[in-house]
Structure 1
Amino acid sequence: MNRPADAIALHDPAARRARKVGFTLAAVGAVLFSAKAILAKFQYRYGIDALDVLALRMLMSLPLFVILGIHESRRPGRTPMSRRDFGLILILGVLGYYLSSLFDFWGLEYVPVSLERLILFLNPTFVLLIGVFAFGRKVARKEWIALAVSYAGVALVFVENLRVQGEHVLFGSGLVLLAALSYALYLAMSGQLIQRIGSLRLVAYAMCVSTAATVIHYLLLRDPMHLLQLPTPVYWLALINAIFCTFLPVTFTMGAVARLGAGSAAQMSVIGPVSLVFLGAWLLGEPITAVQLVGTAVVLSGVLLLTRPGANSVPVANFPADTDPREETRG
């Protein structure tokens, strides 16, 4: 009798090692994705704002994504891109990495990192809701329950932060909510394009578009010489953000997907919001209350119900078997 592939893999030392490496890459990638919020908070202490943080992050990560894009485009068997593909990449680059990141960093000026990450972690619920309202999809009862649980958890954490930190949390949460919605639109629109050109190729091209949009925004509002006159620590923090919290998480997470599959890798993303609760308290002195911990647990439970393999009865976009929309760069 033939044993199932999973059972064979469990007894294969090489497969076990690959799974361990995959889980490590997924966990590290999730924490690094989230840590950009910590770095942004440190940069704000030097008197700069969200646009400065975004411009430095994009410009410093651009060479890495250009190299990645060239490498991916030269891989054998790559499908040539049409004008429609390039047009869609322009839209996705603005939505997914320019607007989403701008709203996110702007919101971080007003909310703690733990709340920011929880709101962004609702991306799968926004993608599902876009499918309902924009495409007339139907959602099973268990998905509605998961949605209700997720939003109840965020509401709990939001009210607690409002009580502890003041009304500015309301404005900041609205900005982060716009960031999450912008990125959800990116995910909903990118499915077919990912199938045609590949996820890493799309990320690289979209990041280049986003950098161009950020530079245009900056030139319209400010003297570019301002970026050359900032305190030295700001540049080091921006470089760390560009390499360790922008470029490396993309490659780590896709490496995890290759070893574990999209479903298992997605489960590890829960480490991001949890890590920020404690990193924010340790590095930034942000308060942790019992209500915040309970709310975080509730949100993660609801999102995990939606992100487990086969959970969504009506996905908005069809993603290839080796790719998952949750594994893209999260702004």
Structure 2
Amino acid sequence: MNVTKSFIYGVLIGVLGIVLFSSKAVMVKLAYNYNVDAISILLLRMLFSFPFYLIIALSSRKKNSSVKTTKNDFLWVLFFGFVGYYLASYFDFVGLTYIKASLERIILFLYPTIVLIFNKIFLKKKINKLQIGAIILTYLGIIIAFWDEVAISGTNTYLGGFFILLSAITYASYLVGSGWLIPKFGVIKFTSYAMLVSCFCVFVHFNFSVESSIFGHAIEVYILGFLIAVFATVIPSYLVSMSIKMINSSNFAIVAGVGPISTIILATIFLDEYLTTLQLIGAFVVIIGILLVSLKKENS
């Protein structure tokens, strides 16, 4: 497969992974109709995901990698597993208790810029003009899409915004770490190990969350928890890692701008939320930005 085709496939795989991840928000919102709290949904997500990651990790542990891994590499996997899918999710959940989801999405999608900055600082990767243009387009599309939804009210908005910003920073660091560690471990091993770490972190968190209980919920909550685990966690986590390997974390961060738009579309279909003209325009602008990224050839 030549470089151009590989890069385009990487973009398409990344978009599919992001769309599946976006379905999580819709399924969580459906679960909230059954009076379940956020930490319980987070636990069910990881509880149902855990066997998949464990089986895949055990089956792939003997596969040799062309690059030798060290103890420090495993320590970094522990760190990024803790930071990425656990800490970023936790900050996001806390922030959402203070601000609207529409404002949360806009702040959270600062992370593509943070990824580029981290790559520049820590990995000495240049930020090219096409990446800058695509970033501007995707951000512009996101702002247009949510322009008529954003409403800032009360001083708690600033606190909520701070937590969402922490979520964006921690998730960005995970993406950068993924781009660096995936070549050492391989897509399957790295994703499995990092997600197992995240699962354990959630289990510990829930154990200290005295106000929450995993039992006594409606059957629909457990069904939705399973669907979130398989289709909005396990499958997209491997797709995202594969995409990062093929197009690098900087370009993936830009492609991920499709996330808010896909959330709007899925919410319109499954939650009967109204899709406004501004949101349609925003979606179109984001798609243009993604197409710009797909035209860039990988230089690594």
| TM-score, normalised with respect to structure 2 | 0.77
**1:293–1:105 Cα change, 3 Å:** farther
Query: Is residue 287 from structure 1 mapped to residue 274 from structure 2 by the alignment?
Result: yes
Query: Is residue 162 from structure 1 mapped to residue 150 from structure 2 by the alignment?
Result: yes
The structural deviation recorded for 1:68 is: 1.0
Q: 1:35 aligns with which of 19, 23, 30?
A: 23
The structural deviation recorded for 1:45 is: 2.0
Deviations 1:34-56 (A, max 9, x none): 10111111122222332222111
Partners of 1:135 and 1:28 lie apart in 2 by 27
Partners of 1:304 and 1:171 lie apart in 2 by 35
**1:275–1:178 Cα change, 3 Å:** same
Give 2:207's aligned amino acid. L
User: Which residue in 2 is equivalent to 1:186?
Assistant: 174
Deviations 1:130-151 (A, max 9, x none): 2345667653444433333333
**1:78–1:149 Cα change, 3 Å:** closer
Q: 2:72 aligns with which of 62, 72, 84?
A: 84
Structure of higher RCO (CA pairs closer than 8 Å, 6+ residues apart): 2
Deviations 1:8-37 (A, max 9, x none): x9xxxxxxxxx99x9997665443221011
**1:292–1:304 Cα change, 3 Å:** same
After TM superposition, the structure 1 stretch with the greater mean CA deviation from structure 2, 226-235 or 136-145, is 136-145
**1:139–1:79 Cα change, 3 Å:** closer
Partners of 1:95 and 1:50 lie apart in 2 by 19
Partners of 1:276 and 1:106 lie apart in 2 by 20
The structural deviation recorded for 1:185 is: 0.7
Partners of 1:25 and 1:192 lie apart in 2 by 19
Is residue 69–residue 201 contact of structure 1 (8 Å, CA) maintained in 2?
yes
Query: Which 5+ residue runs of structure 1 have no aligned equivalent?
Result: 10-18, 314-320, 322-331
Q: How many residues align?
A: 294
User: Which residue in 2 is equivalent to 1:68?
Assistant: 56
> Percent same amino acid among aligned pairs?
32
Query: Is residue 209 from structure 1 mapped to residue 197 from structure 2 by the alignment?
Result: yes
**1:124–1:239 Cα change, 3 Å:** same
The structural deviation recorded for 1:59 is: 1.4
Partners of 2:282 and 2:157 lie apart in 1 by 16
The structural deviation recorded for 1:90 is: 1.3
**The structure with more radius of gyration:** 1
Query: Is residue 235 from structure 1 mapped to residue 222 from structure 2 by the alignment?
Result: yes
Query: Which 5+ residue runs of structure 2 have no aligned equivalent?
Result: none
Give 1:289's aligned amino acid. T
RMSD between aligned alpha carbons?
4.1
The structural deviation recorded for 1:299 is: 3.6
1:309 aligns to what SS in structure 2?
A: coil
**1:278–1:223 Cα change, 3 Å:** closer
Is residue 162–residue 169 contact of structure 1 (8 Å, CA) maintained in 2?
no
Partners of 1:137 and 1:91 lie apart in 2 by 22
**1:79–1:149 Cα change, 3 Å:** closer
Deviations 1:210-249 (A, max 9, x none): 111112222223266x112322221111011111211123
Partners of 2:110 and 2:79 lie apart in 1 by 22
Deviations 1:140-181 (A, max 9, x none): 444433333333333333432125x97788776665443332
Query: Is residue 153 from structure 1 mapped to residue 141 from structure 2 by the alignment?
Result: yes
Partners of 1:25 and 1:137 lie apart in 2 by 23
